[in-house]
């Protein structure tokens, strides 16, 4: 019942490992602008899905294996930092958001707290509150979706 929300897939929905790896590799080569285009469904050859959004959030929250740096660092240009924050805001409003995405958004907020606060004070922005509000809205959307799916299942029986 909650498989779609919790990102559990039926065996017919799971891509083969080669297709899945190609998809992950494609996302791993995207920059912030490409990731935003992907999330907004404006790419010609790919439609965004739950797995892709999870991969985008994983990319934002994981550290580089060789340099041990985050995707966005304090010394990065303000434009890159702003694009990363805006990407998370766009993802929070996506209609295919799932619980793993919400958990990664929470991890993003924890991981980038220092950068968020520094960016807000330097640029007189309010991304700290925007991101927290977006996280709460994403949780609410997941809850609404799961409730709707529960009702649909009851009606279907």
Please report the pLDDT score of residue 11 as a whole number: 39
Between helix 78-92 and helix 127-156 the angle, nearest 10°, is 20
Please report the pLDDT score of residue 48 as a whole number: 84
Length of the chain: 157
In degrees to the nearest 10, what's the CA dihedral of 103, 105, 110, 111? Answer: 110
* Residue 83 and residue 32 in contact, taking contact as beta carbons nearer than 8 Å: yes
* Residue 60 and residue 71 in contact, taking contact as beta carbons nearer than 8 Å: yes
Please report the pLDDT score of residue 24 as a whole number: 82
Helix (H, G, I), strand (E, B) or coil at 69: coil
Q: Which residues contact 10 (CB under 8 A, 6 or more apart)?
A: 3
DSSP state of 29: T
Return the domain boundaries, the chain: 17-156
**Please, what are the averages of pLDDT over each run of 10 residues along the chain (157 residues)?**
50 57 84 92 82 93 88 94 96 92 96 95 94 95 91 85
């Amino acid at each position: 019942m909650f498989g779609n929300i919790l990102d559990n897939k039926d065996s017919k929905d799971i891509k083969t490992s080669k297709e899945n790896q190609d998809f992950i590799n494609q996302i791993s080569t995207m920059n912030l602008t490409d990731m935003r285009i992907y999330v907004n469904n404006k790419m010609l050859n790919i439609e965004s899905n739950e797995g892709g959004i999870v991969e985008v959030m994983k990319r934002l929250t994981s550290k580089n294996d060789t340099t041990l740096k985050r995707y966005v660092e304090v010394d990065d240009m303000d434009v890159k930092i702003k694009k990363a924050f805006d990407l998370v805001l766009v993802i929070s409003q996506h209609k295919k958001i799932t619980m793993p995405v919400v958990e990664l958004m929470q991890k993003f907020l924890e991981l980038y707290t220092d950068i968020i606060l520094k960016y807000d004070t330097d640029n007189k922005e309010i991304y700290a509150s925007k991101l927290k509000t977006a996280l709460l809205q994403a949780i609410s959307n997941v809850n609404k979706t799961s409730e709707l799916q529960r009702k649909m299942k009851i009606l279907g029986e």
